[in-house]
Amino acid sequence: MWPEVRKVKDENRYELVLMGEDVNKKIENAEGLDPDLYELTQLNFLRVSKSPLISISENISLLANLTNLVLDGNKLESLSGAVGKLDKLKVLDLSRNFLVTLPEEIGQLTRLTNLNVSVNKLTSLPCLNNCINLALLDARENCLTEFPDVGHDSLALLADIKFARNNISEIPVSVQVLPSLKHLDLEDNSIKVVPGELFDCIKLKELSLKGNPLTDRRFRKLVESDRCLPKQVMDYVKQHCPKVQEGKGGGKGKKGKGGKGKNKDQDQMDELCNELRVVSLTEETPPIRVDPVVKDVRPYMVCCILQKLDLSGENFKKFISLQTKLHEGICEKRLAATIATHDLAKIKGPLKYTARDPKEIVIHPLTRGKEISAKALHAALQHEADAQRKQMKKNMPTGLHKYLHIVESWNVWPCIEDSAGTVVSLPPITNSDNTKITEETTDVFIEVTSGKTLGKAKEVLDALLQVIMQSNLCPERNEGDKTVMTVQQVRVEDEDGKLKVLYPSRTDLQYENMKVRVVMPEK
């Protein structure tokens, strides 16, 4: 047994780093790693760097507790599919090797957050649709000729894509469905045209295109300039880059000066677009009145009602999963905003958004059997988190437990009460079991609260509506057999009953990839 492995075993350590000349000699002599290494089943972190290592044994699957596997700067020519069995893996770094392909099993790592395969010889990437927690994908300096297939709503947390220094020729329109995408690095590729749909990536702030043969000379000059700012690039995309779908539908009629050509093009676009129907406010719609006391904790709120959803079967899990992904991504782990959903049929309006001493707030929390004070709930969750840390030997809590720290500095905690004074929501921790949605729910009351800005709350609700539209949860169809999503406006008022926010209003409806139609409520 190598002394480095012996030390980790004897001291029951959770990390092992193998680097240096002595280690390299052992790897050459053994033609691989010490077989005893794979008995260290307690390992969370394993790094083997700058070594002559050519391959990894299938026994890597025995290290079932690995969360970080770093194999950078070696001479790996292939990787065993056994890596795909490391279902706790969050970080996989295979950078600076000689890999030509990756095993498809990597796509089964559902907890993976960071995948770095830069500086290899890869011509393609495996399907990553099931890597639902993926936030960073780095495949710079490879041999990719096509943009990897990552344009799926299941990758709702993917924020950073780095494909610089490949030979990619096109940017797929499907990238627009990634609600958390902030940085897209495509420097030094073979891209000639940028689709206007990129501007529909609601969080995309930095698009790196230097070193591409863009056919638009003004655009190429802009991105090559050392003084070019990220905002200038995105503004140019918005103003000058046509959408691919529009190009397909327009033909010569789009360039014509006559009104007929324009109407024909619009008709073709209408056939391509999904439809968002906004139902005007009614007297029956439960308003929310905001108490001034929330101003020091979480003052901003927007609400709406989603009608005619299909939450049966797997759709229910999909809906909950979408909400969870947005909490991790655009909501910044609920620090920036929190989404709560309720079965509209169980809501007793009007509602009141207020804040109270946590000892005085009584709620029947989701999945828990009885009512409890907010303070006692926090203590119970904290106890569970401590037990979880000891059992799993990890510092990071999971589930609701990771949001407990948000409220700890507040003297009063925000909550939403119905007309009977029953607490139906306790943001940012949980909402009430009394109003929970089920597979039978069709109309969902949604509230988003934020401690940042009203704009942030709207941004989150915008993102939620978009991902729901793209997830086939709306069974209704229009004449062109495209999805129809029906949203009813909800009024948020101040303590005197004056309007604070009406969502969605016309100024909120900036969905360029779908038709928006305001309709009167059905009688």
Q: Domain with 207 in it: what CATH number?
A: 3.80.10.10
Q: What is the pLDDT of residue 92?
A: 94
Q: Find all residues with CB under 8 Å of 139, minimum gap 6, and list them.
A: 117, 118, 122, 125, 148, 162, 163, 166
Q: Does 341 lie in the same domain as 217?
A: no
Average pLDDT, integer, range 54-74: 92
Do 466 and 392 have their domain in common? Answer: yes
Q: Is the pLDDT of residue 211 over 90?
A: yes
In a domain, 305, yes or no: yes
Can you tell me the distance from the alpha carbon of 339 to that of 179, in angstroms, rounded to the nearest whole number?
A: 15
Total residues found in the chain within this entry = 523
* pTM (2 d.p.): 0.52
Q: What is the pLDDT of residues 125-143, one digit of tens each?
A: 999 988 989 999 999 999 9
- Per-residue pLDDT, 270: 40
Q: Is the peptide bond before 427 cis (omega within 30 degrees of 0)?
A: no
Q: Are residues 361 and 431 in the same domain?
A: yes
Same domain, 88 and 235: yes
The band of 361, judged by pLDDT with boundaries at 50, 70 and 90, is very high
Closest Cα to residue 173, out of 253, 266, 241, 250? 241
pLDDT of residue 521: 59
* Mean of the per-residue pLDDT values of the chain: 84
Residue 443 is predicted with a pLDDT of 92
Band of the pLDDT at 398, cuts 50, 70, 90? low
Predicted pLDDT of residue 262: 37
Whether the ω angle into residue 521 lies within 30 degrees of 0, i.e. cis, is: no
- Residues 427, 294, single domain; the answer is yes
What are the pLDDT digits (tens) for 432-472?
999 999 999 999 999 999 988 888 888 888 888 888 877 77
Indicate whether 282 and 208 sit together in one domain. Answer: no
Average pLDDT rounded to a whole number, residues 12-26: 89
pLDDT(103) > 50: yes
User: What integer pLDDT is reported at residue 306 of this predicted model?
Assistant: 92
Last residue of a domain, one of 204, 227, 247: 247
| Domain assignment of residue 34, yes or no | no
Q: Are residues 391 and 500 in the same domain?
A: yes
Higher per-residue confidence, 31 vs 251: 31
Contact 350, 288 (CB under 8 A): yes
User: Does 177 map to a domain?
Assistant: yes
Residue 177 or residue 213, greater confidence: 213
Residue 301 included in any domain? yes
Has residue 29 been placed in a domain? no
| Residue 295: inside a domain | yes
Q: What whole-number percentage of the chain has pLDDT above 70?
A: 87
367 and 432, same domain (yes or no) = yes
Q: Is residue 499 part of a domain?
A: yes
CA-based max dimension of the chain = 82
Q: How large a percentage of the chain has pLDDT more than 90? A: 44
- Note the pLDDT tens digit of each residue in 477-523: 766 667 788 888 898 999 888 888 888 876 665 555 556 666 655 65
Average pLDDT over residues 360-378: 88
Each residue of 246-276: pLDDT tens digit? 444 333 333 333 333 334 433 433 444 567 7
Tell me, what's the pLDDT at 246? Answer: 45
The interaxial angle of helices 217-224 and 230-240, nearest 10 deg, is: 170
Overall number of domains in the chain: 2
Least confident of 33-42, 116-125, 237-246, 505-514: 505-514
Measured in whole angstroms, the distance separating CA 471 from the mean position of its chain's CA atoms is: 14
Q: Are residues 229 and 280 in the same domain?
A: no
Any idea what the CATH number is for the domain that residue 285 is in? 3.50.40.10
Residue 96, judged by CB atoms within 10 A of its CB (0-12, 13-18, 19+), counts as buried
More confident of the two residues 333 and 145: 145
| Predicted pLDDT at 188 | 95
* Cα-based torsion angle of the residue sequence 262, 199, 274, 288 in order, rounded to the nearest 10 degrees: -120
* Average pLDDT for 271-291: 78
Instruction: Determine the structural domain holding residue 374 and report its residue range.
Output: 275-519
Domain-ending residue, one of 247, 266, 290: 247
**Same domain flag for 235 and 279:** no
Q: Are strands 68-70 and 91-93 parallel, antiparallel or unpaired?
A: parallel
Domain identity same for 402 and 440: yes
Q: SS3 for 274-321, per residue?
A: EEEEEECCCCCCCCEEECHHHHHCCCEEEEEEEECCCCCCHHHHHHHH
The pLDDT of residue 214 is above 80: yes
pLDDT at 259: 38
Report pLDDT for 514.
57
Is residue 261, in this structure, part of any structural domain at all?
no
Look at 479 and 79; give whichever has higher pLDDT: 79
Q: pLDDT band at 277, cuts 50/70/90? A: confident
What pLDDT shows up at residue 329?
Answer: 84
In this prediction, residue 45 carries a pLDDT of: 93
Q: Is 125 helix (H, G, I), strand (E, B) or coil?
A: coil
302 shares a domain with 392: yes
pLDDT digits (tens, 9 = 90+) for 163-199: 999 999 999 988 888 888 999 999 999 999 999 888 8
